[in-house]
Amino acid sequence: MKKDVKAKFQEALELPAELLTNSYRMTLIDNTNVLIENYKAIIEYEAYVIRLSCGLTIFGDNLNVLEISADEIIIGGKIKNIEFEN
């Protein structure tokens, strides 16, 4: 019920979808940089995979976190594959 109200409110005011709902926003630059807003937390971090609790898994080579803050993460490296859960 609560979600519906939020969705309706967002539709009525034409606000960006990621603002009110719990969704994430991903910006890709080539296959070298990816910015994910609203990523929540890192579950797994290896040089070849980064798993985020928002439901994204990024596979690649030499992955490293260029910048991290409470709601943004920038991942650099050679991105090969992005997997979506749920």
Partner 1 sequence: MFLLKTYEFYKGYSEIQIEGYFVERFVNLCSLRGIKIWDIDKKTEGIINLKIYEKDLGRVDELLKITKSQMRIIKKVGIPNITNLYKKRKLFIIISLICCAVIYFLSLHIWDVEVVGNEKIPTEEIEKILDEEGVQVGRKKESIDFEKIKSNIYVKRQDVLWIGVKIKGVKVTVEILERKNADEDVLENFPTNIVADRDGVIQKISVRSGQKCVEVGDVVCKGDVLVSGVVDSEHSDPIMVNSNADIKIKTWYTTKKAVPYQKTILSKSGLVDKKCKIKLGNYTINLANNSTKFEKYDTINSVKKLVLFGKIETPISLDVSTYEELITSDVLYTPEQAETIAKKEVYDLVMKNIPDGAEVLNYDYNVFSENDEVIVRITAECLENIGVEEKISF
Determine how many CB atoms are found less than 10 A away from the CB of residue 28. Answer: 12
Nearest distance in Å: CB 52, partner 1: 10
User: Pick from 7, 17, 19, 65: which binds partner 1 (CB under 8 A)?
Assistant: 65
Binding piece for partner 1, criterion CB under 8 A, among 1-9, 11-19, 26-34, 63-71:
63-71
Nearest to 29 by CA among 84, 86, 74, 83: 74
Cα dist from 45 to 65, 67, 86, whole Å: 9, 14, 20
Binders of partner 1 among residues 1 to 40 (CB under 8 A) are: none
Q: What are residue 21's phi and psi, to 5 degrees?
A: -80, 175
Nearer to partner 1 among residue 21 and residue 40 (C-beta): 40
Binding site for partner 1 (CB under 8 A): 41-47, 63-70, 73
